[in-house]
Amino acid sequence: MAVEGILQAAAQYRQSLGGRVHEAIVERTFEEAERIAERAVVREGEARKFALDLALDRVLTSRVWGLPVMGLMLAAVLWITVTGANVPSAMLNDLLIGQGHPWLLSMFGSMGSPSWVTGFLVDGVYLATAWVISVMLPPMAIFFPLFTLLEDYGYLPRVSFNLDRAFRWAGAEGKQSLTMMMGFGCNAAGIVSTRIISSPRERLIAILTNNFSICNGRWPTLILIGTIFVAATAPPAMAGLVAAGSVLAIAVLGVLMTLLVSRVLSRTILKGEPSHFSLELPPYRPPQIGKVIVRSVFDRTLIVLWRAVVMAAPAGALIWITSNIIVGGDSLAGHFVGWLDPFGVALGLNGVILAAYVFAIPANEIIVPTILMLTLNVARSTLAQQGVMLELDETATRDVLVNHGGWTLLTGVNLMLFSLLHNPCSTTLMTIYKETKSWKWTLWSALMPIGIGFAVCGLVALVWRLVA
Amino acid sequence: MSATQIPVGGKARISALNMVGQEKRRLMDLGFVPGAEIERVLDAPLGGTIAFRIRGTVVALRDNQTDKIEVTPCKN
Amino acid sequence: MQELKQVSKACDACGSCSAGDKIVPMRRTEGSDFLIALAGNPNTGKSTVFNALTGMRQHVGNWAGKTVVREEGAYKFRDKAYRLVDLPGTYSLLSNSVDEEIARDFVLFGRPDCTVVVVDATALERNLALVLQILEITDRVVVALNLMDEAERHGMKIDDRALARDLGVPVVPMSARSKKGLLELAATVADVVEGQVALRPHRIAHLDPELDKAVVSLVREIEREHPGILNARWIALRLLEGDVGVENELRSGTLGKPSHGTLSLAGGQ
């Protein structure tokens, strides 16, 4: 066949040319490129060229300053997001829930709608959506622009560079550090960002471990629990610091888990050839700050709104329904909680928490109000109407959880751990399926973290009860 | 000597790439070609990864690769 | 270079550029007159150029390897519709990573009417290697010399005329981020696809008579087997290198088949 003839002829020539054809061609190409570039570039200010960049890099990657600066950057981004989101979140909460909720109730009432319709739509669907918007929108609108600015400026490859050794130990590609960082904003976005990893095996490792990056949706839970339980054990002057410290500790634990689990995966079920690492450190390019911020805020707002409507609304509906259908003397939700309770307590948690996590699969943000609501329902407290998610201030929350729910420090600590080590939210799972096109791996990404969560919480509970 | 042994801030000229296949092609695409001048500009704080200036760009490689890049030092 | 001067003189004299010429992003990618490929190293602002021309909003980030899918968009210029394909950023067309195969197959067999290579002015040497490779494949190339603002910031000055002279194809200095040079780019692309610009692409002389002999002989064989095939010389060189991808394509008969449907009216080279 003529084609084989061509291939054979080529092979013969290849041999007689000594097999260095590719090298020779590439070398010549670069020689020419060098020559032409030389003639085109008028080397003014050669010394100035990149000198500043290099000086900056010397600091950002230095043995002494490199990692601390990174830690500080992360802490700064977290801090700005958290404190910056406080006021807008409170305002949104006030507007949508404080005012919006009663207004809708009265409007429905005046239309003469049956109470179950009002309950379903206003207490269930609307409240969940409103909650997600007020809790999620401000932090997302702050974190992502910040992250994008760092990205555009060119800092992120330096982080990759600094952490590469750790990722090499984990058997992972250096770029996984970037996808991990993206996950701190939103895990679904983190999954999409794994496209930059070319090797499918290493990409999968990045996807499976992305959930160990604590996304924006989980911070409020961590901060609240850290404040009312962990910080409560410290002297008041230190409370703020201890709370922040506990949250940071969980975040760092997440990074360590990413590395550890990656290492295990790369040696067991995802074994294979490590790809050849190369990373370009581009010159620093000051971004057009205004433009970036506006675009990022706009994009993020749309995404949060979409997610609130598509994910949170059904969750709210489900919570309301199960809390209001009474069977055998208790609501469906109440039965569910009771059924989960023994398992929950064994894990150092309780049935309410586990049930809340099931309801919160669509969106991590609704955990706290769901927990409060379920606790009060189970305790038959008059403070709660059936199926209405609510929000209280810190002292009231602590009061409810401890006195009505029987929470202890162990519960608080384990909740923080579990919030790190549980299944990804449904948006993320959907994204994983879209990106991997594999049911098997999507299932893995759901079950592996929660399996680890059960194990860790169970262990902590065991040791705690033995020691305390 | 290998590229790993270039002192920080030092320059050298590549004399050979002791590797085959994809690995070699990838490096050559980035400009690491016999005859090219490279400068070791940065070391990662945890070690193991080195950044070189090559053809006006900065590229980082792991030392298991740079060990295989043969160079001759440049007299500064 | 009379022809090139003709273009720039026309540009200078033509008052209508700023008056009438506008790049209008188009929604639909159906019904386009010309197909333009957008190639370049990673991290050269290629996506910024793409976004600016098509009005689309791919995310752009300052680290290599962000665009990994082939994005398509369209724009209208001087009453003609241009379909623009943003290829993944690649360092070369010769390695066998997926990105590079996508880019290379498109430039080779997708029959773009013009290939715009976005080049980072601050890293000219490395970027030119890709340009030279592309020039081995097609004549219709426009070099978009991007990030000129960055080059200036670092104290570099680039003589784009000398560059155009040496490369034999038009070079358009730009700063896509600040929207500078876009009209010139669209105008130059328009001129190239309409055949208004003489192109004398720089071809690398390999200086090895044995290699040349082998190439000539292989080209003859290839053209006999696939009459009318474009880029026989390029294929011959790849076969001599032992490029597995090209070998497989030759065997399976998919060589020379464009990987997409094109409405291009003009042919390849």
Instruction: Please check whether residue C178 touches B, CB under 8 A.
Output: no
CB B41 to CB A54 under 8 A?
A: yes
Count of CB pairs separated by less than 8 Å, A with B: 93
Neighbours of C58 (CB within 10 A): 16
In whole angstroms, give the CA distance from residue C22 to residue C79. Answer: 10
- C95 to chain B: which residues are within 8 Å by CB? 22, 25-26, 29
In whole angstroms, give the CA distance from residue A362 to residue A428. Answer: 9
Pairing type for strands A326-327 and A278-280 reads: unpaired
Compute the mean pLDDT over every residue in chain C, rounded to the nearest whole number: 77
Nearest to C125 among B25, B28, B55 (CB): B55
Give the alpha-carbon dihedral of B70, B71, B72, B74, to 10 degrees: -170
pLDDT score, position C5: 37
**Higher-scoring residue by pLDDT: C168, B21:** C168
Instruction: Please check whether residue B54 touches C, CB under 8 A.
Output: yes
pLDDT score, position A258: 95
Average pLDDT rounded to a whole number, residues C251-261: 57
Confidence of residue C264 (pLDDT cuts 50, 70, 90): very low
Residues 26-55 of C with CB under 8 A from A: 42-43
Nearest to B22 among C95, C123, C129 (CB): C95
In whole angstroms, give the CA distance from residue C144 to residue C187. Answer: 12
CB B30 to CB C126 under 8 A?
A: yes
Q: What are phi and psi of A67, to 5 degrees?
A: -70, -40
The string of pLDDT tens digits covering residues B5-55 is: 999 889 999 998 998 877 888 888 888 988 899 999 999 998 889 999 998
DSSP, res A93: I
pLDDT score, position A381: 58
Q: What are phi and psi of B61, to 5 degrees?
A: -135, 155
Residues A108/A117, Cβ–Cβ less than 8 Å: yes
**Higher-scoring residue by pLDDT: C10, B42:** B42
Based on its alpha-carbon atoms, the radius of gyration of chain B, rounded to whole angstroms, reads 11
Residues C48/C38, Cβ–Cβ less than 8 Å: no
pLDDT score, position A390: 63
Best CA proximity match to C43, nearest among C65, C28, C58, C27: C65
In this predicted structure, the answer to whether residue C13 has a pLDDT above a threshold of 60 is: no
With a cut of 50, list the residues of chain A below it in pLDDT: none
- A280 to chain B: which residues are within 8 Å by CB? 30, 57-60
In this predicted structure, the answer to whether residue C268 has a pLDDT above a threshold of 50 is: no
CB C156 to CB A175 under 8 A?
A: no
- Residue pointed to by tokens 């050849």: A276
In this predicted structure, the answer to whether residue C141 has a pLDDT above a threshold of 50 is: yes
CB C123 to CB B54 under 8 A?
A: no
Residues 134-173 of C with CB under 8 A from A: 150, 154-160, 162-163, 166-167
For residue B34, CA distances in Å to A18, B5, B54, C168 come to 17, 17, 12, 27
For residue C203, CA distances in Å to A10, A32, C200, C223 come to 22, 10, 9, 20
Residues C114/C141, Cβ–Cβ less than 8 Å: yes
Average pLDDT rounded to a whole number, residues C38-62: 79
Residues A171/A263, Cβ–Cβ less than 8 Å: yes
Return the amino acid letter for B37: E
Distance from CA of A24 to the nearest CA of B (A): 10
In whole angstroms, give the CA distance from residue A29 to residue A252. Answer: 47
SS3 C168: coil
pLDDT score, position C266: 25
**Higher-scoring residue by pLDDT: C7, A141:** A141
In this predicted structure, the answer to whether residue C73 has a pLDDT above a threshold of 50 is: yes
- Residue pointed to by tokens 């499918």: A200
- B41 to chain A: which residues are within 8 Å by CB? 54, 57
- A23 to chain B: which residues are within 8 Å by CB? 28, 33-34
Pick the residue from chain C with its C-alpha nearest to B25.
C95
pLDDT score, position C42: 84
Return the amino acid letter for B30: L
CB A6 to CB C64 under 8 A?
A: no
Best CA proximity match to A357, nearest among A276, A425, A297: A425
In whole angstroms, give the CA distance from residue A206 to residue A173. Answer: 9
Nearest to C94 among B25, B31, B56 (CB): B25
pTM of the shown model: 0.81
Q: What percentage of chain C reaches a pLDDT higher than 70? A: 77
The string of pLDDT tens digits covering residues A361-392 is: 888 878 887 888 788 777 665 555 555 666 66
Distance from CA of B72 to the nearest CA of C (A): 22
Residues B31/B52, Cβ–Cβ less than 8 Å: no
Instruction: Please check whether residue B60 touches A, CB under 8 A.
Output: yes
Nearest to A276 among B26, B33, B49 (CB): B26
In this predicted structure, the answer to whether residue C205 has a pLDDT above a threshold of 50 is: yes
Residues A185/A215, Cβ–Cβ less than 8 Å: yes
Q: What are phi and psi of C228, to 5 degrees?
A: 85, 5
- Interface with C, mutate which of B19, B26, B29, B53 (most C CBs under 10 A): B29
In whole angstroms, give the CA distance from residue C237 to residue C215. Answer: 6
Kind and range of the H or E run holding A293:
helix A289-307
Confidence of residue C69 (pLDDT cuts 50, 70, 90): low
- A37 to chain C: which residues are within 8 Å by CB? 124-125, 128
Q: Which of B24-28, C62-66, C264-268 has the highest mean pLDDT?
A: B24-28
Half-sphere exposure of C36 (CA within 13 A, CB side): 34
CB C126 to CB B56 under 8 A?
A: yes
Q: What are phi and psi of A200, to 5 degrees?
A: -60, -35
Residues A151/A193, Cβ–Cβ less than 8 Å: no
